[in-house]
Amino acid sequence: MVVYDPRGLTWDYWCSRMADLFAANQLGTVSEDKWRDWADGMQGIGYFVNSAVPDPRGFDEWYQWAESLVGIMNVDTRQL
């Protein structure tokens, strides 16, 4: 599974890229203050249901949660 490494990215850019990757799931984008709601929606995508995506409520900042996705999926897409 591919997820974008959030290091050095803004929320708007990262969210937009992820929304593009999963356009078929109609995630869309949201403002940074609603990142947990967006993350909850992402948890429901079939790709992630079986991947132990962490609950976003366990993180203070969006990028901490997003970095954990890279570890789970074990893919660094900064080279794409």
Please say if the pLDDT value at position 38 is more than 90. yes
Quote the tokens at residue 74.
Answer: 């074990």
Please compute the mean of the pLDDT values over residues 36-49 and round it to a whole number.
80
| Long-range contacts (CB closer than 8 Å, 24 or more residues apart) made by 10-14 | 11/35, 11/62, 11/63, 14/62, 14/63, 14/66
Query: What is the residue-wise DSSP string for 15-45?
Result: HHHHHHHTGGGT-----GGGHHHHHHHHHTS
Task: Report pLDDT digits (tens) over 51-75.
Answer: 677 889 999 999 999 998 886 765 4
What whole-number distance in Å separates Cα of residue 49 and Cα of residue 36? 16
| Residue 79, SS3 per DSSP | coil
Does this model's pTM top 0.85? My answer is no
